[in-house]
Amino acid sequence: MTTEPISDSRPYSPGLKGVVAGETSLAFIDGDKGRLLYRGYPIGDLVEQGTYAQVAELLWTGEWSDQAHLACAALDRSVIEVLRQLPANANAMDALRTGVSAWGAISAVKYPPTVDQARALTAAAPSILAAFARLRDGHEPIEPDPSLDLAAGFLYQLSGERPDAASAKGLEAYFIVGAEHGFNASTFTARVITSTQSDMASAVGGAIGALKGPAHGGAPTEVVNQLHEMGSVDQAERWIRNTLDRKERLMGFGHRVYRAYDPRAAALRKVAEGLSSVSEWLKMAVAVEEIALRVLHEYKPDYPIMTNVEYYAAAVLQGVGLPPNLFPATFALARHAGWTAHCLEQAKADILIRPDVRYVGPAERSLPGVAAAR
């Protein structure tokens, strides 16, 4: 049997780079100028003057609420029992994903997504992660304090002690800058799942799975490891050059979208400077940043590689006392406001996301032995 080769001349963009796959009113990202706006408000202003609860309500409803308050939610005992069954060495992202799935099943969350569902899931997620963190360390979960905002409440449920104002503000800032960032991999995953008319818990569970990948959500942990490996500012330049000579990635620098300084990094650097618990570590981080930017420019003078959010996220998360193995899952807590807001927006669009694909396999052919028999 003779067949024509299969061809497809439609344009293809690997990784969907540059492809406009939807419309959103949630966030505007200007990578060339280093701007990030949530519904028109600059991220720096939101960090300085807002709270995570206010930002979440802004994303969910489009309105700014001075009275917005979002506290960690108490968990159904069945969710805690599911977490109790996980091994102590389980990845925290796996535990959060499992807890969200259990929460969705027990809460019987259904399509279409609602703002009330978004509030409930975003409030439950920190309690899920804190409960797992305590269980793996041999302690019982702590009931949430409804008087505390979400970030402070998460720290309280981890330790049983109310956090100081600087630590609470630091994590609150991190939650704000991490809340939303366009059609990144995990957010797009949430929108794809929502487009099938599946429920919000399923969409967020899928988003957590996408964020678990080190190419998306693991960088703050690697920044801490990187600085520890350098050991001192004196050793930094040699370490950086050796890393780049091996064609390895320098964590905390470069971004798929930003060609200017990441505005989230700028906002977090200001916050980190107010955390006395990381003052010496921060001094090293600032010095290393200056060296890294100089060396990166030397290696790639025609391709701007600037500091990204993960670099100073590492300083803030370490400063508020979180262990590095909770960094990626804490990023997931912050992103809940954005994920759920995208679920709401996608449901309103009510269209199945189903892109085409280019076939590059063999042309039509006969099974082995069939051609000979003919």
Q: Note the pLDDT tens digit of each residue in 311-362.
A: 888 888 988 889 989 999 999 999 999 999 999 999 999 999 999 999 999 9
Tell me the average pLDDT across 281-304. 90
Q: Is the pLDDT of residue 2 over 60?
A: no
> In terms of domains, do 208 and 234 share one?
no
Number of domains in the chain: 2
Q: What is the CATH number of the domain that holds 226?
A: 1.10.230.10
Residues 89 and 195 reside in one and the same domain:
yes
Q: Is the pLDDT confidence value at 149 over 90?
A: yes
- Has residue 263 been placed in a domain? yes
- Whether 374 is covered by a domain: the verdict is no
Q: Is 161 a member of any domain?
A: yes
The string of pLDDT tens digits covering residues 56-74 is: 999 999 999 999 999 999 9
Tell me if 20 is assigned to some domain: no
pLDDT, residue 280, reads 79
Catalytic positions: 255, 310
Same domain? 252 vs 157:
no
> Is 265 found in the same domain as 208?
no
**Residue 1, pLDDT above cutoff 60:** no
If asked whether residues 225 and 185 sit together in one domain, one would say: no
In terms of domains, do 210 and 252 share one? no
Residues 160 and 190 placed together within one structural domain of the fold: yes
User: What's this model's pTM, rounded to 2 decimal places?
Assistant: 0.91
At residue 222, the pLDDT reads 83
pLDDT band at 19 (very low <50, low <70, confident <90, very high): confident
Mean pLDDT of 12-21: 87
Range of the domain at 159: 71-215+333-349
237 lies in some domain: yes
Q: Residue 288: inside a domain, yes or no?
A: yes
- pLDDT at position 371: 61
Burial of residue 81, with CB atoms counted within 10 A of its CB: 0-12 exposed, 13-18 middle, 19 or more buried: exposed
Q: Are 90 and 199 within one domain?
A: yes
Residue 62 belongs to some domain of the structure: no
CB 110 within 8 A of CB 202: no
Q: Which residues contact 154 (CB under 8 A, 6 or more apart)?
A: 72, 126, 127, 129, 130, 171, 330, 333
- Is residue 45 assigned to a domain? no
Same domain, 147 and 266: no
Rounded to an integer, the average pLDDT of 75-83 is 98
Query: Does the pLDDT at position 365 exceed 80?
Result: yes
Q: Tell me what pLDDT residue 67 has.
A: 95
pLDDT surpasses 70 at 373:
no
178 and 231 fall within a common domain:
no
User: Which of residues 233 and 282 earns the better pLDDT score?
Assistant: 233
Residues 142 and 201 in one domain: yes
